[in-house]
Structure 1
């Protein structure tokens, strides 16, 4: 253990962010009554944070999902960053994929060539926002860019001049096709002196010629969370109160989640005067991510406020988002996680069941009228999201405790990784739905073996040998692929990497091991000699991540079996 964390005085190294002098703050007494304007940045901020960014087909699929959900403002990318980004925006426009009531937004740095390219990418769209930014905080001004405050303002104002110049060169008929709007972001606003943030935002508004009929969107982001959410709320209220020509601006916020308080920052910012929120589905984004649009929308729903977007089929939203981003939605993710409407505790199960029974009786007595939702442990009706309450499969009829993962660990010595627990639960649920009865641990283990352990088609492992050289291991393995015996050979810094290399060469694929874990299975649990269990998740650009499991007395063999199982489940080898 690192003892530095225990012995060091953090006050010598870190400084608390100063409080805002706002003695008459009003946001603590305000109440949320309506949703903000939403902007999805899944296709820009979310996409640029992925290990493997979305290709055009996936970006189109994500765009169509966002439109289906009801988002009216969508940041479609960074068109000047690459040809793929530019071509995607052109595809949306030229193939008439953008509904008339949807506005697309393109991000650009405050550079003339990039601004011109961004404007070019959005020509022909009915509604378009050019989003320009530059960093404004002292740390970035002085360390990253070596700019004075005056030079920083000049960069922003020149960016606006360049946008106006680019639009002015368009033929009248081309210009008239599009309702052009401006968004300006003082990047790192959360670390910027408020008087300077006000000064640069007002300079941008003046240069654009902002009016109540031609508002500038001022995005005030928590680019980096550096303080508690109440401090950010104070910053927003200060800007809301002190900004010149406030009625000519839309205040937008773009919270990141470095401190894990992105949702709180967004909600408090709305109370403090913000009009608009930018974020991503399920909190995707750089570092710890952007604020989760799903959380915010369903939070409003739980308070009796329609968010203006539709999450009535959240499982489908999760499926598409996971396939497009290759990022799993965590089992405990608020509202969306696989386990958020599942109780492991017997006392919770009992309270929920009683509450559901009472709710049903009340609904029957109401003769079709909508009544208030009042069920212990369930703040909203899972059915509103297309989900159902599923009690954890019990250990037995009396205990009311445990669950699928507990049974597999207790009776078979298998300690499953969390993501794999969700996958196994899905498979087990199919059998539970078919039988309509409580499942025994033997039945759960049979499903587990069939789905995750014994997948031998189209690839079947036969045996392997390993030879060692200086810093390199060579693995030769005999397999059957679609029933045909094959011999593969690969090199790596270990048996697993060599096996992966060999499989990629044989199949012409490009996959990798995303997660790996292992543990011993003790003989007193299985009644057999000690064995090793390996859990491997494979990742591939064109397929959703898939888990496989291998069990063998030899740890290397167990890991190879797990890779084969994962490959067979992923569909890569089909």
Structure 2
């Protein structure tokens, strides 16, 4: 590919090795979550949300369980300012939820920000300025010392305005574009801000280290975070926070490794909405923890409902392949996958298993509001007998014999292949009924009777194109006697009659369903299914269905 030579690695390794995070196996507890949907996410929308939409979205975030929510950049526009004032004046912020606001390190913006916060019970004031080499050289054209002065001046003004404003304020600082900043310089500027704020156990400070633009592989980001964590002033009174973007498609990995490296807090958005490729996706990140048996401290028990509100308010679409949330992420079309899932689900029922370990399903779809029916197995020309059988059993109570499932599987795949489309459960059931159930031509079953109490002698009445006739037969039971009568009087030839049956609940009526397979003289196997309120009658209908399939 042309022009690759013009790209250089724009990130910086820590001054010394920082690899202790590599010894940790997994994240053992949820971080402090901060949603930035209403600020970072909202500013990335083609059409930002209006006041009513932002209020509804805020309510959604509270219901999910976020305790920290960045509500906007109140000095940036009247809409942002009005939204924050509405939250405060209408008392819409629960006592256990802290709002967060963003401000550049500029005096008039900082003062406007505190004006918007009058009367807030508790708020995080998030101060930032850009620190990367590219920003210093190309945008601000300032030295390192001048960039530090911008941050320190802003930090002092935050402290002054907080003392002059009614409310309970916590401070946060971000060296914006941290990932393009020399790590030792990022440490210097954060420590300079911390020296101004002097955090304590009762008044901790948040230092947020954003992957404003993702530049490195995740292990580099983790090493940067660990170095900062180990060398930061007042570390025991600092809440170390992450704000990963997804430019390299590694936002979730950056956050996960960053937490292993010492971060205690994560800023992100639902479904990863945000500038360019988006922010870190909190739904994915939280449910990754959940899949390891860790409580994420957020309620995603109704992901479809959350997704519906998100899509309506943001006008964004969640991809069908989006982790956990996407329409198809729990769905198997492949025959081998379907077979493994069906067997795994059956194994769970038989074993009454408490731990989740179903093949191809990292979590139980029901735990996040998804349904098995129509979600985990869907049928097309790539599907197999296991998945098709699973659909019939789960939705219609039909438990086909293994060999019949295989035969029916080819029928369904042929239809799907011919139509070039996915088949819905109702269509699959219709194919089954058409192919196997109570087939009455060319040989129609009318009735049967046994001579007295002797099942060994049975008379079956049949109707063909030439009329109705009664056929008598003997056997080791009524079905065997009827089978013998048909072979003797009608010249039908078949062997290896295979028979199974079970009860079938359909609404308020209980029916019996029977399955019969027969082998023709040339070795082909034909199947039939009978359904009737009487188990014996269902068996006879299944035999007639199989014979008619052989005749056809």
What TM-score results when the alignment is normalised by the length of structure 1? Answer: 0.67
CA deviation string 1:168-190 (max 9, x = no partner): 333xxxx2xx3210011100001
1:26 equivalent among 20, 36, 50: 20
Match of 1:385 in 2: 368
Matches within 5 A, 1:207-222: 207-222=196-211
> Residue 250 and residue 439 in structure 1: after superposition, are their counterparts in 2 closer, same or farther (change >3 A)?
farther
Q: Deviations over 1:47-89 (max 9, x none)?
A: 0000000001110111001000000000001111111111111
Alignment of 1:63-82 (within 5 A): 63-82=58-77
Distance 2:411 2:124 in 1: 55
Distance 1:240 1:401 in 2: 59
Provide the C-alpha distance between the structure 1 equivalents of 2:430 and 2:317, rounded to a whole number of angstroms.
Answer: 27
Q: Which residue among 57, 66, 71 is the counterpart of 1:62?
A: 57
Is residue 2:293 matched to residue 1:304? yes
Deviations 1:303-360, CA, capped at 9 Å, x for gaps: 0000000000010000000011100000000000000111010111110000001111
Looking at structure 1, the residues matched to 146 and 215 of structure 2 have their Cα atoms a distance apart, in angstroms, of 25
Alpha-carbon distance in structure 1 between the residues aligned to 2:285 and 2:28:
13
Residues 432-491 of structure 1 show CA distances to partners (whole Å, capped at 9, x for unaligned) of 4xx595467xxxxxxxxxxxxxxxxxxxxxxxxxxxxxxxxxxxxxxxxxxxxxxxxxxx
The 3-state SS of whatever aligns with 1:220 is: strand
How many Å separate the matches in 1 of 2:17 and 2:172?
A: 30
Number of residue equivalences: 404
Describe the SS at the equivalent of 2:211. coil
Match of 2:497 in 1: none
Inter-partner Cα distance in structure 1 for 2:108 and 2:312:
34
Partner of 2:158: 163
Cα separation, 2, equivalents of 1:361 and 1:17: 54
The alignment status of 1:14 with 2:8, answered yes or no, reads: yes
Where 2:49 maps in the other structure, the secondary structure is: coil
Q: Which residue does 1:462 correspond to in 2?
A: none
Contact 1:394/1:438 (8 A) holds in 2: no
Are 1:121 and 2:116 counterparts?
Answer: yes
* Deviation for aligned residue 1:196: 0.8
What is the match of residue 203 of structure 1?
Answer: 192
Alpha-carbon distance, 1:94 to partner: 1.1
Describe the superposition over 1:108-143 as per-residue Cα deviations: whole angstroms up to 9, x where unpaired. 111111111111212212110111100001110110
**Residues in 2 aligned to 1:163 and 1:401: alpha-carbon distance in whole angstroms:** 68
Judged with a 3 Å threshold, the aligned counterparts in structure 2 of structure 1 residues 166 and 386 are, in CA distance, closer, same or farther, namely same
Tell me the equivalent position of 1:376.
359
Asked if the contact 2:18/2:226 (under 8 Å) is kept, the reply is no
Closer, same or farther in 2 for the Cα pair 1:48/1:375, shift >3 Å? same
| Secondary structure in 2 matching 1:356 | helix
In the alignment, structure 1 residue 90 sits paired with structure 2 residue 85 = yes
The residue correspondences of 1:288-303 to structure 2 (distance < 5 A) are 288-303=277-292
Q: Contact conserved, 1:341 with 1:388, CA < 8 A, in 2?
A: no
Checking the alignment, whether the CA contact within 8 Å between 1:39 and 1:278 is kept in structure 2 is yes
Q: Which residue in the other structure is 1:154 paired with?
A: 149
- In the aligned structure 2, how far is the partner of 1:226 from the partner of 1:209? 32
2:537 maps to what in 1?
Answer: none
Q: What is the Cα deviation at residue 161 of structure 1?
A: 1.8
Residue 388 of structure 1: how far off its partner (Å): 2.0
Q: How far off its partner does 1:373 sit?
A: 0.6
> Which residue number in structure 1 is paired with residue 547 of structure 2?
none
Q: Which residue of 1 aligns with 2:100?
A: 105
Change (3 A) 1:199 1:353: same
Alignment partner, residue 255 of structure 2? 266
1:541-560 equivalent positions in 2, closer than 5 A: none
Q: Which residue of 1 aligns with 2:275?
A: 286
TM-score normalised per structure 2: 0.70
Alpha-carbon contact 2:210-2:244 (below 8 Å) kept = yes
Structure 1 residue 17, shift from structure 2 partner? 4.1
Q: Please list the CA deviations of residues 218-244 of structure 1 after superposition, one character each: whole Å capped at 9, or x if unmatched.
A: 110000011100000000000011112
Query: Which residue of 1 is the match for residue 409 of structure 2?
Result: 398
Q: Is 1:411 matched up with 2:419? A: yes
**Within 5 A, what are the aligned runs for 1:175-574?**
175=166, 178-363=167-352, 371-389=354-372, 390=375, 391-395=377-381, 397-399=408-410, 407=416, 411=419, 432=425, 435=426, 438=429
Partner Cα distance (1:325, 1:358) in 2 = 42
Q: Distance in 2 between matches of 1:197 and 1:19?
A: 12
- Preserved CA contact (<8 Å) 2:11 2:179: no
Cα contact 2:15–2:183 (8 A) shared by 1: no
Instruction: Point out the more displaced range, 384-393 or 344-353.
Output: 384-393
- Structure 1 distance, partners of 2:201, 2:411, is 61
- Equivalent position SS for 2:210: coil
CA displacement, residues 484-535 of structure 1 (integer Å, 9 cap, x when unaligned): xxxxxxxxxxxxxxxxxxxxxxxxxxxxxxxxxxxxxxxxxxxxxxxxxxxx
Distance 1:324 1:381, change over 3 A: same
For structure 2, the 5+ residue unaligned runs are: 382-387, 389-407, 432-552
Q: Distance in 1 between matches of 2:50 and 2:81?
A: 12
Residues 18 and 224 in structure 2, CA contact (< 8 A), matched pair in contact too? no
Residue 249 of structure 1 deviates from its aligned partner by 0.9
**Deviation at residue 401 of structure 1 after TM alignment:** 8.4
Q: Cα gap change, 1:439/1:331 in structure 2, threshold over 3 Å: closer, same or farther?
A: farther
Gaps of 5+ in 1: 415-424, 441-574
Deviation at 1:9, TM superposition (A): 5.8
C-alpha change, 1:402 and 1:38, in structure 2 (3 Å) is: farther
